[in-house]
Amino acid sequence: MLEEGRIAVILDGLDEIPRDLRPAVLRALSQQATFRLVLLTRSAEMAGAAARAVLQGAAAIELQDIGLAAAADYLTRTQLDPPPRGWHELTSRLRQEPGSPLAQALNNPLMLTLVRDTYRAGDDVGELLSLRDAAGHAAAAEDITGHLLDRVLPAAYTRQPGEPPLRYDLPAAERALRCIATRMNTDGARDLQWWHIPAWTHAVPRVIATWLGAVLAAGLMGRIASGIVGGLALAFWSGIVLGIVGGLLAGIAFGRGNKIPKRIAPVRWRQLFRRRPLVVGLLAGLAAASPAGLPGVAARLGAVLAVGVVAWLGVGLLAGMSRPGADNTSPLSPLSSWRSDQAVGLAAGLAAALAAALAAGLYAGLRNGLPPGSAAAWGIRFGLVAGLYAGFVYPQSWSSSLAFAQLAASARTPVRLMRFLEDARSRGVLRTVGPIYQFRHARLQDRLALQEPATGHNPCEPRSPTGDAAAPTVEAPSASAK
């Protein structure tokens, strides 16, 4: 069938893959496609891709406003015969009143699709004919458009027969999506990158949470250390000193967020000489000199040198093994990039911390008269604690998870925000472009952002120094938007 030209392929969503990959897609299709091909995309995105690569022999067809007769015929075909109440009057009004606000609102595929999808069995579509504005006048085209957009979320979050129970009810979904849309519009953005969400919240709580985690981890490491060199004093001092130094470093370095997620890559040795590894090595070495238990100046200087060097190497390797891995050109989906970031952080943190702790353990153990095997075993236990903690706090998903909890406390959004975003994508409210989310309809984002919550203040919306909400700066959607 392929050889005889009887296969036609329809590809939708060129605009949903990363921008820099679109020209490569056009080149590959131009070289490899031996069949009839229909490529569907938004006009602006297709023009941008075609400026760098063309699909040889292609005919470009752009959708125009839909004729009213065609719109009425389409709505008629989507219903049973005889149609439910209101549908006959709606289609008749479209044919008879071409200049009416209803006709102006339903002249594009988006609005016709919303009529079809949001009015289901038992709903009276005839209400579109009797809509009124706030002053009681007949609704304008924009009022009808807004009314249809307001029906998107109720339709998406209504349980249908045979479906499992909803994870999120309609009020929770509306609250979260309104919060997200408001912040995106304030930022002038159409892209929702999960690793940028920490910028929506204050960094101080994340720094404190990371610091407290480091104190607990350091206390555990100090308790392990007390088993080799003896004494509760060492455990106490290790927990206090390592907690303060390690917590401060971890909080500042890993609690703030707003970094691009990482992926494992060949080590870049120049990272060893960056400021962060050198500072961490210096402070870790000074911390090693504080705990009591190492007699003599030479022993303490040796501890400072050993711990400082291995901490410097550990943090340098951790940074050198990681490269940006989830930007707008990544083929990963948002959920895949989230999981990849967690896996990379855990692997790199364990590798770096185990190497550093093994060296420190050997030094401390041999210095206190333990056989090499026991000293190495102590270092491995020490490294597992440090590595697991580093593996949790190093990925960008750590600070993002803390930011999700902050939003849940202030805006009552879901704590597991990634799961909520994936659920919204599966319901057609959001879509993905590489590792980022977008509202499937830009007009829906704008509509949600304009709807004030009952309190009059959206917690996701940044406040100006005077306490007033910052004005949205996002551009209006193009006419070609789906």
pLDDT band at 465 (very low <50, low <70, confident <90, very high): very low
- 3-state DSSP helix/strand/coil percent for the chain, to nearest 5? 60, 5, 35
pLDDT digits (tens, 9 = 90+) for 317-341: 555 555 555 555 566 788 888 888 8
Q: How confident is the model at residue 3, as a pLDDT?
A: 81
DSSP letter for 413, please.
Answer: -
Average pLDDT over residues 391-413: 84
Of 118-132, 155-169, 226-240, 347-361, the range with the lowest mean pLDDT is 226-240
Q: How confident is the model at residue 449, as a pLDDT?
A: 92
What DSSP string runs through 58-106?
Answer: -------PPPHHHHHHHHHHTS-SSPPTTHHHHHHHHHH-TTSHHHHHT
In 3D, which of 213, 233, 211, 212 has the Cα closest to residue 222?
A: 233
Q: How confident is the model at residue 415, as a pLDDT?
A: 94
Q: Is 326 exposed, middle or buried (0-12, 13-18, 19+ CB in 10 A)?
A: buried
The token duo for 301 is 């200087």
Half-sphere exposure of 77 (CA within 13 A, CB side): 8
Torsional class of 256: left (φ above 0), alpha (ψ -120 to 50), beta (otherwise) = alpha
Q: How confident is the model at residue 471, as a pLDDT?
A: 41
Which of 13-17, 250-254, 436-440 is most confident? Answer: 436-440
What DSSP string runs through 346-403?
Answer: HHHHHHHHHHHHHHHHHHHHHHTT--HHHHHHHHHHHHHHHHHHHHHHSSHHHHHHHH
Element (H or E) spanning 338, and its range?
A: helix 334-367
Average pLDDT over residues 51-75: 87
Residues 433 and 320: their CA atoms lie apart, in Å, by 28
Instruction: Answer yes or no: are the C-beta atoms of 289 and 238 closer than 8 Å.
Output: no
Does the pLDDT at position 435 exceed 80?
Answer: yes
pLDDT digits (tens, 9 = 90+) for 143-162: 999 999 999 999 999 888 88
Average pLDDT over residues 78-95: 84
pLDDT band at 179 (very low <50, low <70, confident <90, very high): very high
Q: How confident is the model at residue 231, as a pLDDT?
A: 43
Q: How confident is the model at residue 178, as a pLDDT?
A: 94
Does the pLDDT at position 470 exceed 70?
Answer: no
Top pLDDT among 133 and 401 is at 401
SS3 state of residue 41: coil
pLDDT band at 445 (very low <50, low <70, confident <90, very high): very high
Q: How confident is the model at residue 323, as a pLDDT?
A: 55
SS3 state of residue 406: helix
Does the pLDDT at position 35 exceed 90?
Answer: no
pLDDT band at 44 (very low <50, low <70, confident <90, very high): confident
The average confidence (pLDDT) of the chain is 75
Of 60-74, 280-294, 307-321, the range with the lowest mean pLDDT is 280-294
Top pLDDT among 445 and 470 is at 445
Q: How confident is the model at residue 281, as a pLDDT?
A: 61
